[in-house]
Copies of this chain bind each other. A is one copy, B any other.
């Protein structure tokens, strides 16, 4: 039952790996979000719909009726898991976990119009409720990312590497 030290678990990140990650993210219109319950700190897993900005920041449109929204208003720490499962072992399929800080985008924010247009381009059905009072846009600013490309193929990147603000 020997276990490798944690630092040995991750493969070297290359430009190709970064491209794989970005392709994986932009192919997805939804993800699983982990947040903390404002009542008792219990971890919560919920579905959110997604779009990605040109610099690869996940954006969602969230309802106050969903458990993640008051959770993010209370504590902006969250993790987003993205990736599809196909045939065979569910763990053999690629997924990324992005640890994020949630930043709500108010209607007065200069970024609001761009984010609204980007989001509706990727989630056209959201036109039905985007302007209702209990919906808000939230950007999930990436802190770090674990890309899991199947057994034994794990990579770790910083949020700045994902967005292109830092080299790999």
What residues make up the interface of A, taking CB atoms closer than 8 Å to B?
1-4, 9, 29-36, 41-50, 64-65, 67, 77-81, 83, 85, 88-92, 95, 97, 99, 123, 125-126, 133-134, 146, 148
Contact = CB atoms under 8 A, between A and B. Distances in A.
Given A49-B90, A125-B89, A3 B134 contact: yes
Contacts of A43: 34-36, 43-44, 77-79
Nearest to A85: B30
A80 B97 CA distance: 15
Contact of A123 (B3, B78, B89): B89
A98 B163 CA distance: 33
> Lowest 9 A-B CB distances belong to which pairs?
A32-B32, A30-B90, A1-B133, A34-B34, A34-B45, A45-B81, A89-B125, A34-B43, A45-B79
Q: How many copies make up the complex?
A: 2
A81 B32 contact: yes
8 contacts: A1-B133, A3-B65, A29-B90, A32-B34, A43-B44, A44-B97, A45-B81, A46-B97
Contacts of A134: 1, 3
Contacts of A88: 125
A94 to B, nearest CB: 10
